[in-house]
A and B are shown apart, each in its own frame.
Chain A
Amino acid sequence: MTEQPKNFGFGEDETMLKDSAQKFFSDNCSPDKIHGQVARDPSIHRPIETIWDKSLWQQVVELGWTAVCIPEAAGGIGMPLVAAVAIAEEAGKAAFPSPLISTYCATFTLMACDTDTANKALGDIATGTATTLAITNRDGSWESTDTDVSVVDGKLTGTAWFVQDAKKSDRFVVSAKGENGVGLYLVEATAANIDIIADGIIDLTRDQAHITFDAAQCTELAAQGAGDKALDAAMPSILTIVSADMVGAGEWLLQTTTEYTKTRVQFDRPLGFFQAVKHPLVNVMLDIDRTKSLVYNSACSIDSGESNTELNARMAKSQASDMAVFSSSRAIQFHGGIGFTWECFVHIFFKRQMHNHVLYGDAKYQRAKLADMVIGKAA
């Protein structure tokens, strides 16, 4: 194993990027503003709609954040994965409603395709074409070979489920099964013969849909038999970027809840005086720090071209999922009665964490994969 940089590859450029992301979100994306936007209608039977600030997304594109990890040859900036991790962490801390994280996931997949069509799609992402993965079947399987879409004569038929930020995206990277295995295909959101049906979801900071294809036109990104391999190759980066978002959200929950326990007084003392509150919050901090270090390590191992990237990424996502549940549940609990209401901002982050918790596999799923890798398949 090569020795990795002690700073995980966070050089001057990456640190500056993280600082500017932090500033951007604190200037433009306060919890107050987000809540006013995405939580306007608390009705449990509210109409399914996609609410987001497109102008803010345009600014993100102009800052070059969709291009950070795309190779220069494909029209990007060519920074390491830790750069995107830095942005994702800050985006998570702001619960930023945008197709940024989903576009990163599509970016890593396109980078793993290594075809002209994929490279062209990367160039478009760099200039702001929001692109998302449509790779999950009705059962919500995270396995790269599982898809309910088939490809016949170069056209797609079937349904892709659990597509993230579908209504905010301009394009889909669709996995489909053909005679020779799973391939990957690019489909425009405006294409004929597709129906994007928005799901009614709990998380207010994103949208999700299932997409029905009925002999839809598409462009091949990875040939049959190569698509699942590209997804497998991209999966460590995907798991890492989603986990980074969760680290940011976890930190917001920790800081916000800690501040609340300093001011809220019961039994003549601030809540934080009581060890029944203090100790679990410290445990939340321990959980966040474990996750953060595992996420940085995972990103760094990918940037260093290590061979054990799947191991590192699944460790990070397993820890991130456990932390997401713990940090968000403690935040609600320690806010007490107000934490149980719609008006308190905590539910925004709670819902984002619980959504991320299952994306690309929850903690137990990751550990089962890790067990097969490290211990060997069970008898």
Chain B
Amino acid sequence: MSEAHKMDTPEQSAFRNHCKEWLANNHPGRPTVKLPLGALELSDPEALAWLQKWQKSAYDAGLIGCDYPKEVGGGGMDNCQSIANTEMQRVQTPYLPNIIGMGMAAPTVLFHARDEVKAELLPKLFSGEEIWCQGFSEPGAGSDLANQQTFAERDGDNWVINGHKVWTSLAHFAEWMILLCRTSKDDKYNGLSYFVVPIKKALGNGVTVRPLIKLTGETGFNEVIFDNLIVDDRYRLDDVGAGWKVAMTTLSHERGAGPMTTPASGGMAVEEEEGAQTNSAMALIQLAKQQYRNGKTAADDPLIRDDLIKMMIRQEAFRQNQRRASVPSLTDHPMRIPLQFKLVATEMAQDLQQVAYEVEGAASTLYVNDDNAPVKGQWPLAYMNSFGVTIAAGANEVQRNILGERVLGMPKSK
């Protein structure tokens, strides 16, 4: 029996058995549609529908929202989501599509919405029937998130919203958006408020969603324009002017540092048939063994070998940091490692994919539309896409400020 099992509480132990048993009989198997690398890149409605079916079945079986109260559609358990996650990942289930809903909207709604709104929204969020997106970034509010210009004006029991949101993943499928906006121009931070807004219902009637095209040529995220969208006051989270505080709940969960564990399924290599895993040092080593130059492989070049092993070490260190972060006595500040995760994971992937250019050599010039491209051009594509995550969710420069200020206690850089 593994150590993880030995430390289970009786509730966790019973739940782990339930997960194992259910997954043994209900794994959805290989997808019948082509899936992108992650939920945020979903563009095909059929792929979404296939994943929604999987999420609903996992929710119905109790594997999603386990630690949320029963009254809001959760499982009412203690520390069981991580067990469901481990068991789903162990058998390599497909990823869950409602990633922003579960990872960011759900904890924010739980901690800040009125009870009847929680009960209204969370069951269909967990089941994946209603997809969520996040309306934080604006053309003038990126790393300086509090510089929100989208404005909500009170009109009796309603709010009238006008503004422009960008980089909105999944907005083209979303029923709901978590929205940070301004309700007062008098104070930068205390003039912010937070809403959940039904965007799909309002398409063409106050809401326009348009795709943005990435530097790769792919779509995947959107801009959302609000033109006198009317929203009921019941969908305001927390007090008027408390938007920044509510946004911190969202962001701490986005960074994996919040109190609620995000439901996470995965491990199924979706691009398996194309042989393009672009996120592990071992995959890069395999690539290096296949790329020939002057009669030898890239894996025979001493400088490239050094780079490959550096990446392997960083990947292992990340894994061991995750392990250490869960043991309070082995970290001197509880947020020291969790606040590193986003920064470290995204830079590690970017650097890994950058090494792939050197490994592929001249062939790294070939793109996905060229039949001669190594592994269908997936490595350069992954490298270009890697900037999405080093910039998103607080650019990594902002992450370094956060770590320096909150963990090391250095003076604020603003």
Please list the residues of chain A having a beta carbon within 8 angstroms of any beta carbon in chain B: 3-8, 10, 15, 254, 258, 261-262, 269-270, 272-275, 278-279, 281-283, 285-286, 289-294, 296-297, 315, 318-319, 364, 367-368, 370-371, 374-376, 378-379
Contacts and interface: CB of A to CB of B under 8 A. Distances in A.
A379 B289 contact: no
A285 B336 contact: yes
A275 B312 CA distance: 29
B309 A370 contact: yes
A379 B288 CA distance: 13
Given A275-B397, A282-B403, A285-B336, A297 B320 contact: yes
A375 B336 contact: no
7 contacts: A6-B323, A270-B410, A273-B412, A281-B404, A367-B309, A375-B308, A378-B299
A148 to B, nearest CB: 28
Contact of B340 (A286, A364, A378): A286
The 7 closest A-B pairs by CB, nearest first: A293-B320, A272-B410, A290-B317, A3-B2, A278-B404, A371-B305, A367-B309
Given A7-B327, A297-B320, A289 B337 contact: yes
Contacts of B320: 293-294, 296-297
A6 B2 CA distance: 10
A282 B7 contact: no
Nearest to A270: B411
Most buried by B among A3, A8, A261, A278: A278
Interface of B: 2-4, 7, 285, 288-289, 296-297, 299-302, 305-306, 308-310, 312-314, 316-318, 320-321, 323-324, 326-327, 329-330, 336-337, 340, 343-344, 397, 400-401, 403-405, 407-413
A282 B306 contact: no
Contacts of A282: 400, 403-404, 408
Most buried by B among A7, A290, A318, A375: A375
B375 to A, nearest CB: 18
Contacts of A269: 411
A254 B336 CA distance: 13
Contacts of A364: 306
Given A290-B317, A375-B299, 6 more contacts: A3-B4, A5-B3, A282-B400, A285-B407, A285-B408, A315-B313
Contact of A297 (B309, B323, B340): B323
B218 to A, nearest CB: 31
Given A315-B313, A368-B302, A375-B305, A10 B411 contact: no
Most buried by A among B2, B317, B336: B317
Contacts of A279: 397, 400-401, 404
Contact of B408 (A3, A15, A258, A319): A258
A6 B4 contact: yes
Contacts of B312: 315, 370, 374
A289 B413 contact: no
A250 B330 CA distance: 16
B336 A289 contact: yes
A119 B413 CA distance: 58
B413 A258 contact: no
Contacts of B413: 273-275, 278
B30 to A, nearest CB: 27
B344 A293 contact: no
A5 B409 CA distance: 32
A289 B289 CA distance: 31
Contact of A6 (B301, B309, B326, B400): B326
Given A275-B400, A370-B309, A374-B312, A289 B2 contact: no
Nearest to A254: B408
